[in-house]
Structure 1
Amino acid sequence: MTRHSGAPMPDSIRHFVRAGQHPARSVPCPHCGAAAHKPCVVPSRGVDLAQPHPQRISDWARATACCPQCQVEPTIACHDEGRARTTVHARRYQEAEEVAA
């Protein structure tokens, strides 16, 4: 269980409370610097965004799913014929979505 201000909340309940959020919010955002489980923001105005930045979604997919296209394990960057990619393959996003469901 995790303890915050107030009563402790079991992790099983915490999962359902966050169910409406994009699963990419489980990792920090490299673009705006938002902490894990916090929404992405527009840095110049401090406005919360409804969806995470694409870089955050890419980092989340890299951290949680294997890539069916280039056959790399979680946390390993996707590659095209030996050259590392800055983003992940589209099939890896699909795999991450399935893992999160």
Structure 2
Amino acid sequence: MTIRAGAPMPDSLRHFMRAKHHPARAVPCPHCGAHAHRPCQLRTRNQLLIQPHPQRISAWAQLTACCPECQVEPTTPCHDEGRARTTVHARRYQEAEETAA
């Protein structure tokens, strides 16, 4: 019996095929330390969470979308009149979700 190895799946298709999961799972979680494509977990009980932590969603939005409010490129943190923000603007979340859809 021969085993046929198919062509490797491109990352863009791999993310599309994981439609049941939140697209933020594509990045590591800065809160709990979960690796990319793994679910977030509670640090005290090692319980897996269904939804990613808000910090992970913020990191994902920062990596994937431009911010229409403060006009920064992907990977650049949002700011308010020169002051760095700890989270991204709400419009950047919307932009990232539209990009992922």
TM-score by length of 1: 0.87
Letter in 1 for 2:14: R
Whole-angstrom CA distance in 2 between matches of 1:39 and 1:17: 16
Runs of 5+ unmatched residues, structure 2: none
Identify if the C-alpha distance between structure 1 residues 93 and 16 changes in structure 2 by more than 3 Å, giving closer, same or farther. closer
What is the CA distance between 1:10 and its match in structure 2? 2.4
Identity in percent? 71
Tell me the SS of whatever aligns to 2:24.
Answer: helix
Deviation digits for residues 64-92 of structure 1, max 9, x if unmatched? Answer: 00000000000000000100000000000
The number of equivalent residue pairs is 96
Alignment map for 1:56-67 (pairs within 5 Å): 56-67=56-67
TM-score by length of 2: 0.87
Runs of 5+ unmatched residues, structure 1: 1-5
Moved >6 Å (runs of 4+): none
Whole-angstrom CA distance in 1 between matches of 2:75 and 2:99: 14
Root-mean-square deviation (Å)? 1.8
Whole-angstrom CA distance in 2 between matches of 1:90 and 1:19: 22
Whole-angstrom CA distance in 2 between matches of 1:48 and 1:35: 13
| Higher alpha-carbon Rg | 2
* Contact 2:15–2:23 (8 Å) recurs in 1: no
Whole-angstrom CA distance in 1 between matches of 2:76 and 2:32: 23
